[in-house]
Amino acid sequence: MTNVPLAVIFYDLFKVVNRRLALLVVVFTIVGTAVEAAGLLNQFVPLVLLGSGPYASELSPSQAQALAYMSADLAKIGYSISSVFFGCYGVCIGYLVFRSTFLPRVIGVLLAFGALSYLTYGVAYLLAPAFAFNLVPWIQLPSLLGEGSFCLWLLIAIVNAKRWEARAGGPIGQRSTPIAAPA
């Protein structure tokens, strides 16, 4: 759930680069998080089916076990769908970092490559799960490099505030366009 506040922070940071694309980052983050949260519910199904509740007595042991395994497969599919949304998020955030003047462009390129790995894995798992299985862990390395460098840069070097202010048209904390007083 920390993805939603992070999306709001990124929107505020990158709206000076492209407001609509920054808003698209928020949308992809919220939808991807919702899909991932819904997919997490599938992980609790085996506990309900194989426990001592009312469902356990109505199903034969083989039926309950089959349904328990099916829920694990559904959780994997849900994760793959959320990976596609986070891949789209990553492409957008990579482009915003690349176009910004207050963060290094190379980090934007690394983020975009990492996002393409999310997209590749997510689509591959949905279309050819056996092929996607062979991609792991190698497909995760570009996203580690992109997201890791972005996190480290934000933690150590931070954002170039002077360039951000120049892009925003005013000091941090002020609106870039004044609000007109009601008539």
Q: What is the pLDDT of residues 82-123, one digit of tens each?
A: 999 999 999 999 999 999 988 999 999 999 999 999 999 999
How many degrees, rounded to 5, is the angle at CA 25 between CA 118 and CA 137?
15
Integer Cα distance of 94 and 86 in angstroms:
12
Integer Cα distance of 34 and 119 in angstroms:
17
What is the pLDDT at residue 166? 81
Integer Cα distance of 161 and 53 in angstroms:
57
What are 136-156's pLDDT values in tens digits? 889 889 999 999 999 999 899
Integer Cα distance of 19 and 8 in angstroms:
12
Strand, helix or coil at 39? Answer: helix
124 to each of 20, 37, 104, 128, how far by Cα in Å?
Answer: 29, 21, 31, 5
Whether residue 49 is predicted with pLDDT greater than 90 in this model: the reply is no
